[in-house]
Copies of this chain bind each other. A is one copy, B any other.
Amino acid sequence: MQSQVQDTPERRAFYEKIDKCNMTALWTVMSALITPEPKSGCVPFLWKFSEIREAMLEAGKLITAKEAERRVLILENPGLRGQSRVTTSLYAGVQLVIPGEVAPAHRHSQSALRFVMEGSGAYTAVNGEKTRMEVGDFVITPSQAWHDHGNMSDKPMFWLDGLDIPLVQFLDASFVEHLGQDEQPIARPEGDALARYGANMMPVGRARGGATSPIFNYPYSRSREALERMRLSGEWDPCHGLKMRYINPETGDHAMPTMGTFLQLLPKGFTSARYRSTDATVFSVVEGRGRSRIGDVSVEWGPKDIFVAPSWKPIVHVTTEDAVIFSYSDQPVQQKLGIWREDRGNA
A residues in contact (CB < 8 Å) with B: 1-3, 5-6, 8, 10-11, 14, 17-18, 21-27, 29-30, 33-40, 42, 45, 47, 51-52, 55, 58-59, 62-63, 67-78, 81, 84, 87-89, 91, 93, 108-110, 143, 164-178, 188-189, 191-192, 194-196, 198-205, 208, 210-213, 215, 218, 222-223, 225-227, 229-230, 232-233, 237, 240, 242-252, 255, 257-258, 262-264, 278, 280, 310-312, 330, 333-334, 336-341
Contacts and interface: CB of A to CB of B under 8 A. Distances in A.
A225 B196 CA distance: 10
B21 A245 contact: no
Contact of A11 (B30, B62, B247, B312): B62
16 contacts: A11-B62, A18-B55, A33-B174, A35-B175, A39-B174, A88-B170, A89-B172, A172-B311, A173-B334, A189-B229, A189-B233, A195-B225, A200-B222, A200-B255, A201-B245, A208-B252
A105 to B, nearest CB: 13
Given A30-B70, A249-B249, A37 B175 contact: yes
A229 B42 CA distance: 45
A81 B35 contact: no
A2 B178 contact: yes
A183 to B, nearest CB: 17
> Which residue, of A201, A240, A255, has the highest number of chain B Cβ atoms within 10 A?
A201
Contact of A203 (B42, B93, B178, B245): B245
Contacts of A204: 237, 240, 243-245, 262, 264
A202 B247 contact: yes
A196 B230 contact: yes
A235 B5 CA distance: 43
Contacts of A195: 225-227, 229-230
A265 to B, nearest CB: 12
Given A89-B171, A192-B232, A200 B246 contact: yes
Contacts of A109: 339
Contacts of A39: 172, 174
Nearest to A109: B339
Nearest to A91: B33
A129 to B, nearest CB: 9
B247 A30 contact: no
A256 to B, nearest CB: 9
A95 to B, nearest CB: 8
